Amino acid sequence: MEERKVSFKNLLSNQSGFTLMEVMIAIAIFTVFASVFVTGQGYNLIDSGKLTEEMLMKDFAENKINEIIVNPPELRDALTMTKETKDVEANTDYQTTVEFKKFFVPDMNQVTADDTLEGKEKENSPQAQMEKRIFKVFKDNMEKMIWQVEVTVKNKTNDSTFRLSTWLYNQNADVQIGSF
């Protein structure tokens, strides 16, 4: 058996390890990957916080609308003049604003106006007169029966808002159908 002598000179000339350049490239690649990963996680946390706040404000708005649906106020013209703003009972950092609006049916005669001579003759026909009366009764009754309620929830600390609206049916509306 032949013994191999390991000399100090052979150890220094061993090329099986990493060079300084290879180590620096590996560290640079790892640094870029780590930066992207940490930044992505930060954005995920921020988005998660915003989503949590938006869901909380949505819940407050839904609860307020459900309260109004279960116990509706008397729907009258005076409701449209003011907005009711109150703090949320469960969390004083949030406030709700309730606004009532009347339903509005546009005048279809202005939309479908025909200025030609034939159009004016059709406008005076018995059928056109009946359509006008039907539309007027429909318009008057719908504007009495349908109301919109809009609830806005605002975070007082950062001014973010969430709006939710729905339609209410006025059960006490004085509907008159027999006026054709």
Q: What DSSP element (H or E) covers 111?
A: helix 108-111
Average pLDDT over all residues of the chain: 82
Query: pTM higher than 0.85 for the full model?
Result: no
Tokens of 17: 């390890």
Distance CA 126, CA 149 (A): 39
pLDDT tens by residue, 131-148: 888 888 888 888 888 889
pLDDT confidence bin for 115, thresholds 50/70/90: low
Pairing of strands 94-102, 146-155: antiparallel
pLDDT reported for residue 121: 62
Distance CA 176, CA 137 (A): 8
pLDDT confidence bin for 117, thresholds 50/70/90: very low
Residue 126 has pLDDT above 70, yes or no: yes
Q: What are phi and psi of 115, to 5 degrees?
A: -85, 0
pLDDT confidence bin for 174, thresholds 50/70/90: confident
Distance CA 126, CA 132 (A): 10
